[in-house]
A and B are shown apart, each in its own frame.
Chain A
Amino acid sequence: MSIRGKAAIVGAFEHPLRDIPHLTLAQVHREVAAGALADAGLSFADVDAYFCAGDAPGFGALSMAEYLGLKPRIMDSTETGGSSYLFHVGHAAALIAAGKCSVALVTLAGKPRSGGAGPGGSGGFGGSPEAGFENSWGITVPNAYALAARRHMYEFGTTSAQLAEIKVAASQHAQHNPAAFLRDVVTVEEVLDSPMVADPLHRLDCCVITDGGGAVVVANAQIARSLGGGRRAGWILGHGETMKSTNNGRIDLTHTGAVWSGAAAFAEAGVTPADIRYASIYDSFTITVLQTIEDLGFCAKGDGGRFVSDGALVAPFGALPFNTDGGGLCNNHPGNRGGMTKIIEAVRQLRGEAHPAVQVPNCSLALAHGTGGNLGTRTGAATLILGQQSS
């Protein structure tokens, strides 16, 4: 059984704020849920499945489902860091295809900016079996991603200037997004001149730290077609998910789990990388984007640096327009988790609702990819392929 064309994203909402000291975490979840349902033309009473991840306060999905007043038939609190929400959409589509639910709500919210919490996702959570072997040596999020960057540079000759091109492209997109946290266009030189955080990654190689949130609503085909004539539906054509582990001591820092999740998603959708008109690529750091582009097959392994230097990522006319909202690198990385906003911008592109300056003409097929956890240790990976049409 395939999920291809069985379900669609019918509602999507990104919280407009990047600093939210006046709301609780639960309130932000509710606001984005209400926003996505309103976008879909549905109500809380229509929801029969609820998905959330580790950012949700309380006891898995139970606390938030109760708080929101839901009566779900299906709940899923799969936690794979920032990629969780792409896992959730894949799971929702499969459960819809199996007839277990009809309208699934997925929410994300986080307040690392106003709430005082530091950047999340670093390796070795307290009680985990690997903790003793990862937590005592000063691992941070940036320095572990830097390990991946250094090794990619060593094996393939990738340069800091090539990584900087990714930030430059994101900034060119973010200038058109009034809600973006960083709206100034930057140059390669400005990225290279920004303070070194963890050699070889500079401050501007890193994503922003923002409060915020987002939500999507996934519905079955019948409901999707009934809402606005189906014109605003982002049909789920393929999904793949996996983890990339440290492989029992043989960690390879030059690739991500996108190697496997991407292949699975393309196979299910029956399309190839050349068919993709727009890609939301997880961008916790510039190196995350570079490796993922290679792993999804948009260029050969090791050629990512050359690929991004040719302006490939710049919308609307680059070979692979990416992250047209400005991405996590410039726009928003709510709760240190960039997966939800990746889905939302892909839906905007499919609908033709991205900013006109970055809207890809006739964006019939889009990809969204999430990378959660830490590229320097273990990551979750999920890929969605979304289309304007159900087949």
Chain B
Amino acid sequence: MSNLPVPAPRVNSETQPFWDGTAEGRLVLPHCDRCAFVIWYPRSFCPECGCTEVTWKAASGFGTIYSFSITRKGQGEYRHATPYVLAYVELDEGPRVLTNVVEDDPDALEVGQRVRVVFHDTGQGTALYRFCRA
């Protein structure tokens, strides 16, 4: 269960492939065609080597909590969603992504715990990627 708001992200032509993936329940990441770097945040080129050819590939959806905060005071749409967990999750593919961990007992969370992705529909053709304990 989650009572988190699901604000729609800002999508543009460069990030459309990523967000199209979320609508299908997949975490699709751009991989550099030249150096194989897994690019985050998603871009149409590789910021590591400058290559402008990328291939979008589905990630496993698994990762590890890199850090988290149990937020007691939210703002805007999150004002009434407290407590909620903001986190960085390190995907098994490498990138550390800013996200939420959906957890009924946030005091039980620890850095290093394994998590898997869940998607929450924004109602606008996209879904927010969040994580729960694997």
Q: Which residues of A contact B (CB under 8 A)?
A: 118, 123, 126-127, 129-140, 142-144, 146-151, 154, 195-201, 246, 248-251, 253, 376-377
| A150→B67 contact, CB < 8 A | yes
Contacting residues, chain B, for A149 (C-beta < 8 A) = 69
- CB proximity of A40 to chain B, nearest CB, Å: 40
> Does B23 sit at the interface, judged by CB under 8 A?
no
| A140→B73 contact, CB < 8 A | yes
New A-B contacts (8) at CB < 8 Å, excluding given A138-B75, A146-B69, A151-B66 = A134-B98, A135-B7, A136-B7, A137-B99, A146-B86, A199-B71, A250-B94, A253-B66
Q: Which residues of B contact A (CB under 8 A)?
A: 4-12, 14-15, 19, 37-43, 47-48, 66-75, 77-78, 81, 84, 86-88, 94-100, 111-112, 128, 130
Most buried by B among A154, A201, A248: A248
Contacting residues, chain A, for B67 (C-beta < 8 A) = 147-148, 150-151, 154, 253
Provide the bound-state CA to CA distance between A195 and B73, in Å. 10
| B111→A248 contact, CB < 8 A | no
- CB proximity of B124 to chain A, nearest CB, Å: 11
Interface of B (DSSP majority class): loop
| B75→A249 contact, CB < 8 A | no
Contacting residues, chain B, for A126 (C-beta < 8 A) = 10
Contact of B72 among A118, A134, A196, A250 (CB under 8 A): A196
| B75→A133 contact, CB < 8 A | no
15 A-B residue pairs with CB within 8 Å: A132-B19, A133-B42, A133-B98, A138-B4, A146-B69, A150-B68, A151-B111, A198-B71, A198-B72, A198-B86, A248-B40, A249-B41, A250-B94, A253-B66, A253-B67
Known: A138-B100, A147-B87. A131 touches B69 (CB 8 A): no
